[in-house]
Amino acid sequence: MDIQTKAPSFLKAEAKKRFDEISKMLIDDNKWKSGDEIALAALCASYQHWIEAEKAIKKNGDLCFTTETGYRQQIPEISIANNAMKNMLSFIKEFALTPRERSKLKELILKEDEDSDTEMEEMIQK
């Protein structure tokens, strides 16, 4: 079965590139399931927001601004960057895109294989 995926049009170039790379990797590993494109689009949108917010923080040069009443307040881009990072990390774990998550996934698969062999052996013995 040939699975075709296309990055959503609302993503910018860098996020589309990530979408294409990750979807290809998941398809090549036979780990792509129907509906994954939604979660992957959300991951890549969060990535895009994080990149944009980090660029705005760098451009601003100051992490705070002074309000009309004289209070110092954190620039909104910091919250945007932090929320985008949290969202990315949760999706990254869902797709097992970190070395730790991949090793946990491998252990789970090996354990399932061992369990299925044990069940088969028990059935044969009965």
Residue 70 C-alpha from the chain's centroid: 39
Calpha distance 19→13 (Å, rounded): 10
Mean pLDDT of 76-97: 90
Same domain, 4 and 58: yes
- Assigned token pair, 24: 């290809």
Q: What is the pTM of this model?
A: 0.73
Tell me the pLDDT tens digit for each residue of 42-71.
Answer: 999 999 999 999 999 999 888 888 889 999
The answer to whether residues 15 and 72 belong to one domain is yes
* Same-domain check for residues 58 and 105: no
Three-point CA angle 84, 94, 2, nearest 5°: 110
Task: Report the C-alpha gap between 46 and 80 in whole angstroms.
Answer: 9
Q: CA 51 to CA 112: how far, in whole Å?
A: 39
Same domain as 79, residue 21: yes
pLDDT tier at 38, thresholds 50, 70, 90: very high
Range of the domain at 56: 1-95
64/78 same-domain check = yes
Handedness of CA 85, 86, 91, 95 (dihedral sign): positive
